Amino acid sequence: MARDVANRRLRAGIVGGGKGSFIGAVHRVAAELDGQAEVVAGAMSTNPQRADESAKAWFLQRSYHSFEEMAVEEAKRPDGIDFVIIATPNHMHFPVAKAFLQQGIHVVSDKPMAFSLQEAKEEVALVESKNLIFALTHNYTGYPTIRHARELVKSGALGEVRKVLVEYLQDWLMEAQEKSGNKQAEWRTDPQRSGIGGSIGDIGTHAENLLEFVTGVKIASLSADLSSNVPGRQLDDDANILLRLENGGKGILTCSQIAAGEENGLTLRVYGTKAGLEWHQQEPNTLLFKQPGQPTQVLRTAMPYMSDAAQEATRTPGGHPEGFFEAFANIYKMAIADIRRVESGEKPVGGYPTVYDGLRGMLFITKTVESAQKDAAWVEMKDA
């Protein structure tokens, strides 16, 4: 079943991401950015005409009207896709992944990984049964500064983690956008398509993943207060959550889609027994390293003092801002390298979020909702 992937760009297909989608184009740019892959096929919409138009706009070679058909057909072709990109609403993440995994095709999926915790567990089992790469686009872990932050913690530079503050603030659901024809808002506020989490699924999982990625410490339990600020909205659009970490540290996670004037404010602060760090996604090339009684150090992408892990995620010299696309592309870069390895009979080396991160995310959504339903009682973040 091994493909010959030497001396060529990998071939990718995409499910979802048709016209009007923001994230579809991001996946395409990110997948192709390093010249290591090319999107050649797609099932870009459930609406056939829209699917074809979307595929044509991207100059795709093959446009399908169903992802099931695409999975089967591509698996048969000698020039079939090497991996699939999943850029659908949440309820279609797992079914699509399953279809392609079963055809022996690698997967790069958007998050959250699945519609429910149960699905996520099935997905883990399925991936474990295959020798295939599964990457989840918790794209914010792709920033060089974030990778350096993780190295700093690992190296012991912060000491033991005592306090973590992570927040993800937006304002785009301040009003009832879901009633004004905004497709993005419609499915994200619809329990049938989003699952039980609103803001906590859409952005809270990014915050949760970032925290655990950088600190290497897992959330042990949480106490969550969820809100829905718009009449008639069924899912949360704001969350305030107390955290207790497995190492005894504590923290706060807050996310909101009704924080007036905020764009995409993902921020992480970690305080240890020796030092602290601070990072803001909107100025992602800067990482602050804070030692008590010492000058705060402004660590910057691409500078020579950055760790290898950061340098490998960097494409330009210092002062040439790398942004959202480049971070996203880093997930692809690592996943594609692993696909090449697997197809060449080597072991994958990872570095990108996987099915296990996806499972943590689904657990986070599940336990947050459970805590909120108990008036913010403490709930352990583990699968009973």
In the window 311-340, what residues touch a copy of itself (CB under 8 A)?
A: 315-326
Nearer to a copy of itself, 148 or 360 (CB): 148
Tokens representing 256 are 């909101």
Distance of CA 194 to the CA centre of its chain: 15
Instruction: Tell me the window of 123-131, 190-198, 289-297, 336-344 that interacts with a copy of itself (CB under 8 A).
Output: 289-297
* Contact pick of 78, 181, 231, 292 for a copy of itself (by CB under 8 A): 292
**Segment 39-68, which members bind a copy of itself (CB under 8 A)?**
39, 56, 58-59
Among 158, 217, 335, 342, binds a copy of itself (CB under 8 A): 158
Look at the block and give the residue holding tokens 């805590």. Answer: 371
DSSP run (H or E) holding 286: strand 286-290
According to CB under 8 A, which one of 13, 142, 272, 353 is a site residue for a copy of itself? Answer: 272
Residue 183 lies near a copy of itself (rule: CB under 8 A)? no
Q: Within positions 62 to 121, which residues make up the interface with a copy of itself, using CB under 8 A?
A: none
Query: Residue 83 or residue 134: which is nearer to a copy of itself going by CB?
Result: 83
Cα 75–76–77 angle (5° rounding)?
A: 100
Residue of the chain from 170, 205, 307, 330 that contacts a copy of itself (CB under 8 A): 170
CA distance linking residue 197 with residue 179, whole number of Å: 19
Q: State the minimum distance, in angstroms, from the CB of residue 323 to a copy of itself.
A: 4
- Write down the least CB distance from residue 249 to a copy of itself, Å: 9
Sole window of 81-89, 160-168, 206-214, 337-345 interacting with a copy of itself (rule: CB under 8 A): 160-168
Given 53, 190, 225, 246, the residue binding a copy of itself (CB under 8 A): 225
Query: Residue 353: is it exposed, middle or buried by C-beta count within 10 angstroms (0-12/13-18/19+)?
Result: buried
Q: How many chain residues are in contact with a copy of itself, going by CB under 8 A? A: 92
Segment contacting a copy of itself by CB under 8 A, of 85-93, 130-138, 296-304, 333-341:
296-304
The distance of Cα 128 from the centroid of its chain, to the nearest Å, equals: 20
Cα dihedral 77, 36, 352, 309, rounded to 10, equals: 160
Two tokens, residue 152: 């700093």
Binding mask 243-262 for a copy of itself (x = CB under 8 A): xx-----xxx-x-x-xxxxx
Binding of a copy of itself by 228 (CB under 8 A) = no
Of 132 and 306, nearer to a copy of itself (C-beta) is 306
Work out the burial of residue 345: count CB atoms within 10 Å of its CB; fewer than 13 is exposed, 13-18 middle, 19 or more buried. Answer: exposed
332 Cβ neighbours under 8 A, 6+ residues apart: 30, 31, 33, 34, 36, 37, 108, 135
Phi/psi for 337 (5° steps) reads: -60, -40
CA atoms within 13 A on the CB side of 285: 15
State which residue, 60 or 107, has the beta carbon closest to a copy of itself: 60
